[in-house]
Structure 1
């Protein structure tokens, strides 16, 4: 009887303090659950995307490990948010409109280009990234057009090439 009474008191004491410690005798007062270890990690529920999407009545803040995308995710009351960074898609555009290109600055033969650029409209961007590129002029010797790395807008956008070098006739 004495052991049952002691066990009951211990149980009631955990209810009154409102926090539990695993691996620690003194759980942090600011935590409802304090997991402490120097050689083990926390293993959340592991679900596929289909299993995750079949959870009924999802509570805000629910955390799972999505086995399909290999990422920890939490529910923010409207969508699942991943903690893993995914690489953006490679950039794609469907067209360039060179007829509307805008050239800024002036080029003079045998004078170094300064503040010269060409801006060209594009369509069909997918939001993906592109690496920079450098293109030598085929019409005027000595000039190079450089596009810095970036990301296409979704839909239409503009590409700006910086023109450098010294034009030679």
Structure 2
């Protein structure tokens, strides 16, 4: 089965689109399930990639999560280019070993890259990710990652979650979203 052409293959060429996804307590009230949210992530990721854009996703590397869905979409629809940037906050990458980080980066291959963002909002090479210490404040680390992502993307799409609370805590993230 071939994919329908919704927009031209280069409509988003050179553009980075941030995708923020989180579970929502409102899904069942709306007649939806977590599977619907997962389908939206796959379809939106695919559409961005097919249009030549890069999906920037700040998440984690836990099996079965949204990251896995986006990696599968990139492997199927990236046309051999880097179409996915997985961005990990310090609170997430510090849970992993250096080998796990290198393996995750290597597994992305040509379809994506792994970006590590420190609590000070700087990117960190995998080889130095676990050096030194950090404040162990996950909220600060996640805010730094969101600010980094917001500053380097053209648009942001939010799926699920509590957008009011997120906007109040992370004004940089909510400044410009689709």
TM-score of the pair, normalised by structure 1: 0.20
Bigger relative contact order (CA 8 A; separation at least 6): 2
**Greater strand fraction, Structure 1 or Structure 2:** 1
TM-score of the pair, normalised by structure 2: 0.19
**Greater helix fraction, Structure 1 or Structure 2:** 2
Larger radius of gyration: 1
